[in-house]
Amino acid sequence: MLRFFLTFLVCAFLLAYGAWGGLALFFRAGGAEGVRLALAAGFALVVLVAIWGLASRRLARAAPALLLCPVVFVWWGGISASNSRDWAVDVARPPVVRIDGSRAVVENVRDFAWTGESAANPAWETRAYDLDGLVSVDLYASHWSGETIAHTFVSFGFADGRYLAWSAELRRSVGQTYKTLESLFKLSELILIAGDERDLVGVRAKHRDEDVRLFPLRIPREAMRELFLSYAREANELAAQPRWYNTLTNNCTTTIFELARMLDRSAHYDWRILLPGHFAEYAYEHGAFGADTSFEELKRRSHISERARSAPMDSSVAFSQAIRAGLR
């Protein structure tokens, strides 16, 4: 029984290793598609032979696959993230934040004037914010494929009427598009976008026809400030040391969750963190929105796409006020 159990474990490892390694070679090895496909198929065949050898107690047949393990892992570890690529214009400039007492100066705040789903007049600004005037934090969920699939980001409101949104996104190179499976295999870096709401919210509601939802968070002022500072530190770290975006482990929602855990270490992982469309429900269950109304009522009131489509675009303050009409 012990031998059977150990054999089963090794075979299960090899099966997972073969699937992962084959896909990694296909997506990330150099050369033409046909060459990468041949490498992936050959690797998978070696692993299948190893599984067959273990199952039939011919251990020598497992040796090639086991010997390849360190080679593949060393190759994979050598694929490093970079801040130097030919970036798409909307993710070209990572924000950098300087904190001086209660004053936060954010370089590369994005405030694009979008004219289409992927066309815009670029504008990057340096803006200063008074952290003593931080009065609100909101969670956005922009649903682009039903209830399950959404992009989540947060926005900080200040006493002067301005808002700064932080959005963790896939950093695309020119001509690159988002691909769910490929993004598990070091396809693109992660970037934190610091942006004006009329940019980040406006493009999703007006030009991408997404169902944008806004959920006001109810957290103490001290926690708002610490969360903002957490985003600032994360942005500076990414600007200095790039990291890979990953569909499951390092995306828009996992970034929010990890930053929020700095405030509440009792928060635990949940399947709704992996499916961003349900993250607002997870946040509600953890008291992020208060307890004076049901989640269904909050969700009913959260839809702001129609207001965003008709909101004035000549003033960022007026835009942010218009999309919040009746929410608070």
pLDDT at 179: 84
Question: Residue 292: is its pLDDT beyond 90?
Answer: no
**What is the spatial distance between Cα 192 and Cα 96, in angstroms, rounded to a whole number?**
10
What pairs with residue 137 in β-bridges? 156
Contacts of 37 (CB under 8 A, 6+ apart): 26
Question: Residue 185: is its pLDDT beyond 70?
Answer: yes
Look-up of token digits 């090899």:
14
**What is the spatial distance between Cα 157 and Cα 138, in angstroms, rounded to a whole number?**
8
Question: Residue 198: is its pLDDT beyond 90?
Answer: yes
Same domain, 10 and 47: yes
* Structural domain of 297: 89-323
**Closest of 75, 71, 69, 72 to residue 10, by C-alpha:** 69
- Which of the four pLDDT bands, split at 50, 70 and 90, describes residue 264? low
- Which of the four pLDDT bands, split at 50, 70 and 90, describes residue 265? low
Question: Residue 286: is its pLDDT beyond 90?
Answer: no
> What's the mean pLDDT when you consider all of the chain?
90
Domain end, chosen from 50, 77, 104, is at 77
Same domain, 64 and 93: no
Q: Count the domains in the chain.
A: 2
Tokens of 221: 């002022």
Residue 82 included in any domain? no
Query: Rounded to whole angstroms, what are the CA distances from 226 to 124, 193, 263?
Result: 25, 18, 8
What pairs with residue 211 in β-bridges? 143
pLDDT at 105: 98
Tokens of 156: 């900080």
Same domain, 40 and 149: no
Same domain, 41 and 118: no
Count CB-CB contacts under 10 A for residue 90: 20
Same domain, 230 and 267: yes
Same domain, 175 and 271: yes
Higher pLDDT, 11 or 107: 107
Higher pLDDT, 104 or 149: 104
pLDDT at 249: 84
- Which of the four pLDDT bands, split at 50, 70 and 90, describes residue 252? confident
pLDDT at 153: 96
Same domain, 95 and 224: yes
- Chain segment 17-34, per-residue pLDDT in tens: 889 999 999 999 888 999
Same domain, 123 and 241: yes
Same domain, 134 and 49: no
Question: Residue 49: is its pLDDT beyond 90?
Answer: no
Point out the least confidently predicted range of 49-53, 88-92, 302-306: 49-53
Q: Which amino acid is present at 301? A: R
Domain end, chosen from 77, 108, 143, is at 77
Quick check: 230 and 262 in contact, CB under 8 A?
Answer: yes
- Which of the four pLDDT bands, split at 50, 70 and 90, describes residue 174? very high
Point out the least confidently predicted range of 49-58, 175-184, 219-228, 257-266: 257-266
Got the DSSP string for 227-290?
HHHHHHHHHHHHHHS--B-BTTTBSHHHHHHHHHHTT-TT----HHHHSGGGHHHHHHHTTTT-
- Which of the four pLDDT bands, split at 50, 70 and 90, describes residue 56? confident
pLDDT at 202: 96
- Which of the four pLDDT bands, split at 50, 70 and 90, describes residue 97? very high
- Chain segment 219-248, per-residue pLDDT in tens: 899 999 999 999 999 999 999 999 999 988
Domain end, chosen from 36, 51, 77, is at 77
pLDDT at 263: 59
Spell out the long-range contacts of 9-18 with Cβ–Cβ below 8 A and sequence spacing 24 or more. 10/54, 10/62, 11/51, 11/54, 11/55, 14/47, 14/50, 14/51, 14/54, 14/62, 14/65, 15/47, 15/51, 17/47, 17/65, 17/69, 18/43, 18/44, 18/47, 18/48, 18/51, 18/65
Q: What 8-state DSSP symbol labels residue 128? A: E
